[in-house]
Structure 1
């Protein structure tokens, strides 16, 4: 991307040099027209500078989007290969070792199923993001229990023992909270928020999930004690493909679609989402219906 920038700035410098040169020549030939030359020249420089700045912003945005898409493809490849490799290893172990006890086999199968769910979540995210982007998803509405939905997602992602790369989810879910909305899309919202909290937390750090009703509003809060989000990035985390940190140095897995889906789905449900700092560390995502 350096070559287009070099050509772009060289063209700007050449155009401005020509402008000043011909302006100088005109003033030399017709000194009485200096006021007109300065006025017209100033207006041209102003319009030219605004156009150049706008074009520079567009090129920069396109360059960032290109880098994000490239990293998105790399992330998706990694996200797909990791659980597939895990499933393959467990199945090969079951197939080759006839001495395995039934309990071990069942444990391996449970781990395979968890990896399958992880793959399923990834594919569903990509499909939903694509449909939202193409405006082909209709968001069918129905009345259902949001309490049961949040409880189901938490139970699926809950880890009951603290081991390497495992978190504990502390859930406080007010019962019998009903809502009218797209159950599938809102399930994706809850899943993405909880998975993000787990992903960006340290091993064995508690993740908090709260669902409650207050002042005729329904609140869903997901809190972590992870790395936190800088104030300069809080306004951009809901952009498609955007991920916190540098595109070159980031080491946390992910596709950059999760929070984009969250924002788009909540907009369709007239709901809002805000992020604030947790204390002493981490972030709190608060959804208000």
Structure 2
């Protein structure tokens, strides 16, 4: 892509030099038409540079998308390797050692949760593709959102810390009508995001309650936070907070994109606020009808 930009700039300079040269020759041949030649030349130069600028923007956009896709593939590879390595280690330990029933159950349970983590990653990629292709229909049903949040939080707990850092404050029996599968990904992505960007064993507060505006679901972390200039871009596809050179946290850049797309289809709003003294709060509001 860089080579293409160099060639593009060289062609622009060459074309501009040729235009000036032919303009000078025309003025020398027909000096009485100098004003007309200069006027038409100015209009042509304006159109030429406008087109060149738009083409350059397109090339840079393609270059950025190419870099994002490359980083996405590297991130997916890492995201797949971590749980696979964990599952492999658990199974090798089970085969090589004489474990009691409780240890065996713990190892198998942890392996199952790693498999569910892999399943989440695959589902994220599949639903992102189907959303882009407009081939996902978002089937609606009524279900218990309180139970769903509790189940997702419990599953993600083991990947965070041995102590209880995901603190739940859920009103019971809150029901919504929506796509249960897609909303499960919303809850999973928001909580897992908070886990990824929080220091080890730091508390993450997950809340669900009814308000005067409808139903409020919040995830608050005490992590690195999000700069104000980045808040408008975090829901873009492949976008990730920080630079690729300094970022330590792995991810695909699909999670928040999926969150926004799914919530838009459910007519739900999502806001990102600063947590105090550090971190971020993601607040989702479903309307009073629960859709």
Listed as ranges, the matches of 1:247-258 within 5 Å are 247-258=244-255
**Alignment match of 2:222 (pick from 222, 225, 242):** 225
Distance 1:257 1:245 in 2: 15
Q: What displacement does 1:119 show?
A: 0.9
CA displacement 1:239-279 (0-9 Å, x = unmatched): 11121122344321111111111111111111222212222
TM-score normalised by L of structure 2: 0.91
Specify the SS of the correspondent of 1:233.
helix
TM-score normalised by L of structure 1: 0.92
- Is this contact kept in 2: 1:160–1:168, CA < 8 A? no
- Is this contact kept in 2: 1:168–1:206, CA < 8 A? yes
Q: Is 2:139 the counterpart of 1:137?
A: no
Q: What displacement does 1:160 show?
A: 11
Q: Is 2:40 the counterpart of 1:40?
A: yes
Distance 2:186 2:201 in 1: 23
Q: Is 2:236 the counterpart of 1:239?
A: yes
Specify the SS of the correspondent of 1:148.
helix
Q: Is 2:21 the counterpart of 1:21?
A: yes
Q: Match of 2:289?
A: none
Q: Match of 1:197?
A: 194
Give the unaligned 5+ runs of structure 1: none
CA displacement 1:191-228 (0-9 Å, x = unmatched): 10000011110111111112222223222221111111
Q: Match of 1:31?
A: 31
Q: Match of 2:112?
A: 113
Instruction: Say what the alpha-carbon RMSD is for the aligned residues.
Output: 1.9
Q: Match of 2:51?
A: 51
Listed as ranges, the matches of 1:65-214 within 5 Å are 65-98=65-98, 100-158=99-157, 162-163=161-162, 168-214=165-211
Specify the SS of the correspondent of 1:179.
strand
Q: Is 2:241 the counterpart of 1:275?
A: no
Give the unaligned 5+ runs of structure 2: 287-291
- Structure 1 segments, 4+ long, off by >4 Å, are 159-163
Distance 2:33 2:262 in 1: 61
Residue range with higher mean Cα deviation, 30-39 or 133-142: 30-39
Q: Match of 2:282?
A: 285
Q: Match of 1:263?
A: 260
Q: Is 2:8 the counterpart of 1:11?
A: no
Distance 2:61 2:144 in 1: 41
- Is this contact kept in 2: 1:167–1:207, CA < 8 A? no
